[in-house]
Structure formats: C-alpha cells, structure tokens
Structure 1
C-alpha cells in the first residue's frame, strides 16, 4: 500500500466529530458510497462504531483528511471476530494513500484484537473503493442484487471481506 506524505494516523475522538461527519456527508453527496442520504449526529455515529477500531488521518496542521471505523456485525458470540467497516477520505486528499494507510491501521487494530473477518458492502460503481480493498487483501465474495433503492433506483452491493491470516 502506498505511504501518504505528511499524514499522521490517530484514534478518532470527539474532537474530530465535525470533520469526520463533514467527510462522511461529502461521500454521501457523491452518490456511490452508501445508501445513507445524510450523515448521522455525532452521538449516533459514536454509539454505532467500536471505539477501539476507529481512526483518523491528520495532515501536518491537524486537519482530518479521512477516517475509518468498524461496527459489530452481530451480538451473537459466533460473530465476535467479525466487523463491518467504512473508510472515507476528503475529496481534496484522495490519491495520496490516505485510504490505504487508514485501512492498514484498521486491519492491524482488528487483528491485534482477535478479529478474523473484516467486511464491507460497496456499490459496484465505486471502482476506486473496490481497487483499494483488493490491494489490502479483500476479495469480493458475492453480489447482493437490487438489495435496496437509492435515489429512486435499485442498487446492487458487492460484499467484500478480508480474512485474517494471523488468526485461525
């Protein structure tokens, strides 16, 4: 994975809330990132994401360039080592390796905590996200055809997963 220049990775905190939600909304507005139509409130976002598996990429001035966060897939004990993640980068910071660095950090964090599968759902049109994930060891395991309506049209979602090679 390429290394971004002048980027620091740090745990996501409440201090990053406004920037994180603004980047999320920018991704939502582009139309190929999520079924969501508006970013949640910070309390809702904070409650839904696992605190030990969420990070921000900061530039030399402390500005948030992007973020990654994971959520539980299920409360059932059989799925204790499975999380679903999202990764978003500010439009002006794309192409600099920010998403790759964030994803690498999430993978390391997850594996250190015993997570054996990281998964995500990606619209097939989001080719940049698919390529990013493939470079990080994710594979497409299936397509959920016409799984939901988005802005008045049916959308497919590719299911991507990365199985840990460290956890058996």
Structure 2
C-alpha cells in the first residue's frame, strides 16, 4: 500500500477536490447537496487555515477535509462544522481518520473548541469514524429535509476539545 500523507489544500487541488466531492454526493448518503459547488463557492464557504488533502505516493489527491464557521456571532468563533470526503477507490485505507486527526490538531492549535457535523444515519462508516475520533451523538433531526424524493434524518455529532478550556 502506498504511503498516504496529508498537506494543506491548495487551489491547484480544486479539480480533484470537487471530483471527490461529487463522487461522494453521487453515492447518495453524504449530503443533501446533489452537485458539488464551483471552486469559488467552495473556497468562500470554508476557513482557509483548516483545509487539508490526503495524497497518495504519486501525490494524487485521494481525500479532503475542511471546515466552515457555524455562525458569524463572536461567541461561536470556536465552533466549526466539518466535511470530509474520500475517493471511493481509496476508502478503507485509513484516509478519513488521517484527515480527521489532522483537522483536530489544526483546530485545537487555533483555539477552536468544538467541531460538529451532520451525518445521515445510513452512513454507518462515517458514524463509526467519528465515534472512534471522540465525537458524540448530540441528537437526531428527524425528517429534516427531502433528498432524492424522500425525507431524511440527520444525526448531529460534535467533538468538544479536551484541551481548550
């Protein structure tokens, strides 16, 4: 198995990041979104200091993680929502955990105390990953939105940093 490394996301990664995003959306259990945004929209919605890509031995991007602020209010400056996507061909190789561990270290170093996410209950691999990384379920939003013609629940997860007090 080729070595996997993580580095900061760059604008040169845009095509691969958006292709991996679209592949996740096409799988049907990643998001209410059905089409990946433009790079400009992606770039504007995510904090620049907490975006990472996983690359294989040949430097091909095989996964990404990024955060968005949850609110413009100052009191929530230490709370972010993250997204994580891995190329279907690279799943099961520890890519998501490596990305998530990198994000946790990055956000904690910046004083961010809570990372949150919403996951469809059917996405059991994501739920297990988050649980292993110290996230806890804080609730379920039942029938919160329609996706491909059916109502979907979303499980809310959060990880409160044990080092930010």
TM bin (shorter chain): over 0.9
Structure 1: distance between partners of 2:38 and 2:62: 19
Q: Does 1:66 align with 2:63?
A: yes
Shift of 1:5: 5.2
Deviations along 1:88-110, whole A, 9 cap, x unmatched? 00000011100000000000000
Give unpaired runs (5+ residues) of structure 1: none
Structure 2: distance between partners of 1:166 and 1:38: 37
Shift of 1:60: 1.1
Structure-2-length-normalised TM-score: 0.99
CA RMSD, Structure 1 to Structure 2 (Å): 0.9
Give unpaired runs (5+ residues) of structure 2: none
Deviations along 1:1-52, whole A, 9 cap, x unmatched? xxx8501110001010000000000000000000001000000000001110
Structure-1-length-normalised TM-score: 0.97
Shift of 1:76: 0.3
Aligned length: 165
Q: Does 1:146 align with 2:143?
A: yes
Equivalent position to 1:17, from 11, 14, 17 = 14
Structure 1: distance between partners of 2:2 and 2:51: 21
Runs of 4+ deviating beyond 6 Å: none
The 3-state SS of whatever aligns with 1:101 is helix
The 3-state SS of whatever aligns with 1:118 is strand
- Asked if the contact 2:2–2:57 (Cα under 8 Å) also holds between the matched residues in 1, the reply is no
Structure 1: distance between partners of 2:52 and 2:132: 19
Instruction: Tell me the equivalent position of 1:53.
Output: 50
